Amino acid sequence: MSCSCDAPFANIGANPCKDIRKVARRFILVPEFDSTGSKNEISDLASLTKATLQAKFDAPNIADRWFPTPEMENVESVRDNAVVQEFNSGKKAKVRDGVKTMTVYFPLQGNLWMGKLEKFECLKYGFYAIDADGNFIYTKCPDTGVLKPILVEPDTTDVEYMEATDTEVSMVKLTFDIKLSEKDAEQRVVEASELDFDALDENDVYSLWDVEVSYSDISTTSFKAALATDFGVKVAGLVQTDFTLLNQTTSLAVPITGFTETPSGTYKIDYAAQASADVLVLTVVKSKFDFAKVVESTILIP
C-alpha cells in the first residue's frame, strides 16, 4: 500500500459486523471501458439493480455488454509475499505488495465455451464477484462512492481446457492476476438480501447465447430458418413479432404475412412477393440471445 503523511493513523475498534464474504461463485466480467471510452462502473448503490445490470447484459453493441460467468469451483485467491528490500544493516523496507493471483475452474463447460473465454486474454477488463451466498462484491471509490469492478492486470489472463480423467470431469481453468493498484481494503460487499435480484440465478444474471441460422426452401414468397445456438441447442418458441424482414437490395421493409414453427426451432416465414436475385436480411430480437450471426447471414432469393 502507499503511505500518507497527513493521516498516519486510523481508529481500529473491532468490527461488530463480522465479515460475511464467502468464496466467489461467479464473476461478472466487465470491459474496463465501454464503446465511448468511458469507464464501466456503477454510479452508486441505488443503481445496483436488476434493470441496470440486465441492460448491460443485453446491450445491442457487444462493446457495451457485461458478461456473467457460469458458477465456478475450486476458487483460489493467493497473494505472493510482499517485495521487501533488505539493507546491509539488516533493516528492511517494504517495496510493494505481492501480486494476487486468482485461479478458478468451470466444470463441464467444454472447449467451445473455452474458446469464447479466451477472447478476454487480449482485453482490458475487470470483474464484479458474486459469492456463495449471492452477495455482490465490488471496489468502492473512496472519493465518489462509485461501485468499480476489480481490475485484472493486462496480459496475465490464461484460459486452459482440462481434459476429463478417470476421476475428474473436464473443466475450463481461468487464471489471472489482480492489478497491483487494486486494494483489498477498498472492496465492499452488498448483502444478497439488499439486492432486487438473485445473483446466483441465471434467469436474473446471465450472458447471451450466440445464435446461428440455416436457411432452406427459399422462394420469392417464403423461406425456412432453422435457429440454434452455437452449442447446438434449438431456439424454440419464438413468435412472429420477434422477427422483422428487410429487402437489402431495395432498402425496404418486407411485411411478414405468415409464420409457423415446424419442427421445433425451424420457422417458415411467408412474405409479400419479392424479386428474384434480391437479398433479404432477417432480424430477430429476444432477450438472452445474440442474433448478430443471423443478420450477417443474408438470404439470396433464387
Residue 33 domain-assigned (yes or no)? yes
- To the question of pTM greater than 0.85 for the whole model, the response is yes
Contacts of 10 (CB under 8 A, 6+ apart): none
Q: Considering its fold, how many domains does the chain have in total?
A: 2
Residues 190 and 214 in one domain: no
Residue 279 domain-assigned (yes or no)? yes
Amino acid in position 299: I
| Residue 40, all three cell numbers | 464501466
Question: CB–CB of 100/178 below 8 Å?
Answer: yes
Q: Which domain holds residue 218?
A: 209-300
CA distance 193 to 202: 17
DSSP code string of 107-167:
ET-HHHHHHHHGGGGGS-EEEEEEETT--EEEEEPTTT--EEPEEBPTT--EEEEE---SS
Residue 109 domain-assigned (yes or no)? yes
Residues 187 and 225 in one domain: no
| Residue 302, all three cell numbers | 433464387
Residues 38 and 187 in one domain: yes
Question: CB–CB of 67/149 below 8 Å?
Answer: no
pLDDT at 229: 97
CATH number of the domain to which 280 belongs:
2.60.40.1220
Domain end point (choices 167, 194, 221): 194
Predicted confidence pLDDT, tens digits, the chain (302 residues): 556 666 677 766 777 777 788 999 999 999 999 999 999 999 999 999 999 999 999 999 999 999 999 999 999 999 999 889 999 999 999 988 899 999 999 999 999 999 999 999 999 999 999 999 999 999 998 778 899 999 999 999 999 999 999 999 999 999 999 999 999 999 999 999 999 999 999 999 999 999 999 999 999 999 999 999 999 999 999 999 999 999 999 999 999 999 999 999 999 999 999 999 999 999 999 999 999 999 999 999 99
| Residue 135, all three cell numbers | 452477495
Amino acid in position 208: L
Between the alpha carbon of residue 141 and those of residues 7, 103, 106, 146, 182, the distances in Å are 18, 25, 30, 5, 11
pLDDT at 132: 96
Dihedrals phi, psi of 194, to nearest 5 degrees: -95, -5
Q: In degrees, to the nearest 5, what angle opens at C-alpha 78 toward C-alphas 75 and 81?
A: 175
Domain end point (choices 194, 217, 249): 194
Residue 16 domain-assigned (yes or no)? no
Determine how many CB atoms are found less than 10 A away from the CB of residue 99. 17
Residues 49 and 170 in one domain: yes
> What is the distance of C-alpha 51 from the center of its chain?
16
Residues 82 and 227 in one domain: no
Name beta bridge partners: 130: 26, 136
Residues 232 and 146 in one domain: no
Residues 35 and 118 in one domain: yes
Amino acid in position 136: F
CA distance 258 to 62: 32
Domain end point (choices 194, 222, 248): 194
Residue 260 domain-assigned (yes or no)? yes
Name beta bridge partners: 271: 256
Residue 19 domain-assigned (yes or no)? no
Residues 55 and 146 in one domain: yes
Residues 159 and 296 in one domain: no
First-to-final CA distance of the chain: 68
pLDDT at 173: 98
Residues 48 and 85 in one domain: yes
Residues 64 and 174 in one domain: yes
pLDDT at 5: 63
pLDDT at 231: 94
Q: Which residues of 211-230 are buried (b: 16+ CB within 10 A; e: fewer)?
A: bbbebeeeeeeebebbbbbe
Question: CB–CB of 34/60 below 8 Å?
Answer: no
Residues 224 and 162 in one domain: no
pLDDT at 9: 72
